[in-house]
Amino acid sequence: MTHAPLGPVVSSAHLADGPLPELSELEFGMTIASNAFARWTVRAMAAAGFADLSPLEVQVLHSVHHRKRAKTLADICLVLNIEDTHTVNYAIKKLVAAGLVVVGKQGKEKTVATSAKGARACVRYREVREQLLLQTVSDLGLDPQQISRLAGLLRLMSGHYDQAARAAAAA
């Protein structure tokens, strides 16, 4: 007995029922990967000893710690491609309250930088990541260049989704 092919793996068959169903397959992959990544960041940070942070707060902390330079709210939003600055501002307030970042000034602009405690949190997160994630991903046998190409494709696709969002807002 032969079975009909099930088609692409998607969460919304009505979106895949048309031209380029592979895009719906990619969108489903991005959705479940995004949710898994968010869950991982929160649990990894908790395993590092810094519980009660949201996925956005973990992302903001790592972004602020990047290159160990103070960042403005605009810098963080631009790098993370976040339009709603108030969500990042709230995350910063929570990170300040937790003692993970400190507020400063650069000219007239408010800046944030990691505190010593925040830097320790980032280092410990990295250790947890290396212990729990890197080896299992390495065991997949993927070519590192393949992972880099995938990252580039995701950044490229984000630009197309941003442009489509602008077009939808103007419609």
Asked whether the predicted pLDDT for residue 4 surpasses 70, the reply is no
> Is 127 part of any domain?
yes
User: What ranges in the chain are assigned the alpha helix state H?
Assistant: 13-16, 21-47, 55-65, 73-80, 85-97, 116-129, 135-138, 144-170
Split into its structural domains, the chain has a count of 1
Instruction: Return d(Cα 39, Cα 20) in angstroms, integer.
Output: 30
pTM: 0.92
Q: Where in the sequence is the domain holding 40, given as residue range(s)?
A: 18-140
> What is the per-residue pLDDT across 156-169, written as a single tens digit (0 to 9) for each?
999 999 999 999 99
Q: What is the CATH number of the domain that holds 37?
A: 1.10.10.10
Q: Is residue 166 part of a domain?
A: no
pLDDT above 90: percentage of residues in the chain: 88
Of 54, 118, 120, whose CA–CA distance to 88 is shortest?
54
Per the domain annotation, does 34 fall within a domain? yes
